Copies of this chain bind each other. A is one copy, B any other.
Amino acid sequence: MSGSTFGRVFTVTTWGESHGEAIGVVVDGCPSGLELDERDIQKFLDRRKPGQSKYATPRNEGDKVKILSGVFEGYTTGTPISMMVENTSQHSKDYDELKDVYRPGHADICYDMKYGIRDHRGGGRSSGRETIGRVAAGAVAIKLLNDIGIDICAYVTQIGEIGIDFANFDREEISRNPLCMPDKEAAEKAGKYLDKLIEEKDSSGALVECVVTGVPAGLGEPVFDKLDARLAQAVMSIGGVKGVEIGDGFGVVTSRGSENNDEFFMEDGNIVKKTNHAGGILGGISDGSAILLRAAFKPTPSIFRKQSTINNDLEEVEIEIKGRHDPIIAPRAVVVVESMVALTIMDMLQLKR
């Protein structure tokens, strides 16, 4: 596979460039009989849509999804679901001067080294707009998962040094503030931090957490296709992610077995764990408790300051990026994390005997 397909049974193939005709996805292996229409998809796409706050690029595309196949009289038929979003608000001109210059922190130079050619307009295939396909497919997976009692919820827990206070955790708050933080106070502080960075023509990294409940025990294949291994690939494949951890994650380095082991006990006839340091996965297989995952997002590489770089004549030059860029990746990526987690779990559920 050349990298644009994900999954073994519930498979997703994305296509499209930032400033091409359109962006889309084909979902193959979706069970038949799911009630589905464009509104089910649109509400997820709207969560990643640009132009919704000062922390998100003002590129104001409608990003209206069209379902082109696989749905008949309101229900999925089991055949591939093709979905497409047309690119309508393209300021390709903004990118003309990036044609020959490599932006630091961007994949431009790697595409040129790999392919010898690239669509320089807005990052082409490496643009964040590529995630439209992931989110449209994720919307289908999430609908299927919700139907069997699996809930997926991601949010931003830290921006720069400003972390949320878990004592204030309020799920409703996630969709109320533009930073997708479940703690109103933290979101306000983080907003001020970002205002300052915008002023300084800079950008910030962030931490995103995702909790999945309702996953039955026994999901995941031992050895190479461990549930956490597949989740790690899924989430690390999102642009800007530099780290993925499960449960206590990097915290285990300073932990001891006597602390880290989750002891079992019985409660109302169910197997329960006293703690969940493991994040719901043991030996690569779900243990029935909540799955907990975190991803580190790097600061947006497109900043408006002057930076040193080279051009494709291999001359050292300075660059001042223009165009429309978010000062932070994570808030709009929250729905992408949910989507990738959903696609992984859906696929592994289909594989499970």
Residues of A within 8 A of B (CB): 1-6, 8-11, 13-17, 20-24, 26, 28-29, 31-33, 66-70, 72, 75, 77-82, 84, 102, 104-107, 109-111, 113-119, 124-126, 130, 158-161, 197, 200, 202-207, 217-226, 228-237, 239, 242-266, 269, 271, 274, 278-279, 282-288, 296-303, 305, 307-310, 314-316, 350-351, 353
A80 near B249 (CB under 8 angstroms)? Answer: no
Among B66, B278, B301, contact of A105 (Cβ-Cβ < 8 Å): B278
Q: How far in angstroms is the closest Cβ of chain B from A240?
A: 9
A251, A265, A296 — which one has the most chain B CB atoms within 10 A of its CB? A296
A69 CB contacts on chain B under 8 angstroms: 15-17, 20-24
A245 CB contacts on chain B under 8 angstroms: 242-245, 250, 296
Q: Given A14-B80, A28-B5, A308-B264, A222 and B125 touching (CB < 8 A)?
A: yes
What are 17 A-to-B residue pairs whose CB atoms are below 8 Å?
Answer: A3-B221, A3-B226, A15-B26, A21-B67, A77-B117, A105-B257, A110-B282, A113-B288, A206-B253, A224-B233, A229-B236, A232-B244, A258-B303, A259-B299, A261-B303, A264-B309, A271-B310
A299 CB contacts on chain B under 8 angstroms: 252, 255-257, 259-260
B1 near A160 (CB under 8 angstroms)? Answer: no
Task: State A10–B204 Cα separation when bound (angstroms).
Answer: 38
B252 near A296 (CB under 8 angstroms)? Answer: yes
Question: Can you name the residue of chain B whose Cβ is closest to the Cβ of A2?
Answer: B29
Q: Given A117-B33, A242-B246, A125 and B223 touching (CB < 8 A)?
A: yes
Task: State A293–B352 Cα separation when bound (angstroms).
Answer: 30
Q: How far in angstroms is the closest Cβ of chain B from A194?
A: 11
A263 near B13 (CB under 8 angstroms)? Answer: no
A124 near B72 (CB under 8 angstroms)? Answer: yes
A302 CB contacts on chain B under 8 angstroms: 257
A161 CB contacts on chain B under 8 angstroms: 254
Q: How far in angstroms is the closest Cβ of chain B from A250?
A: 4
A262 CB contacts on chain B under 8 angstroms: 104-105
A107 near B283 (CB under 8 angstroms)? Answer: yes
A114 near B79 (CB under 8 angstroms)? Answer: no
Q: Given A80-B15, A233-B230, A266-B310, A257 and B1 touching (CB < 8 A)?
A: no
Q: Given A217-B113, A243-B245, A5 and B13 touching (CB < 8 A)?
A: yes
Task: State A224–B14 Cα separation when bound (angstroms).
Answer: 9
A22, A105, A288 — which one has the most chain B CB atoms within 10 A of its CB? A105
Task: State A278–B278 Cα separation when bound (angstroms).
Answer: 28
A2 CB contacts on chain B under 8 angstroms: 9-11, 28-29, 80, 221, 225, 351
A9 CB contacts on chain B under 8 angstroms: 1-2, 8-9, 351
A282 CB contacts on chain B under 8 angstroms: 105-107, 109-110
Q: A5-B13, A206-B253, A258-B305 are in contact. List 9 more A-B contacts (CB 8 A).
A: A2-B10, A17-B70, A17-B77, A24-B68, A77-B125, A110-B282, A242-B246, A255-B298, A264-B316
Q: How far in angstroms is the closest Cβ of chain B from A23?
A: 8
B72 near A257 (CB under 8 angstroms)? Answer: no
A244 CB contacts on chain B under 8 angstroms: 232, 236, 243-245
A314 CB contacts on chain B under 8 angstroms: 266, 269, 271
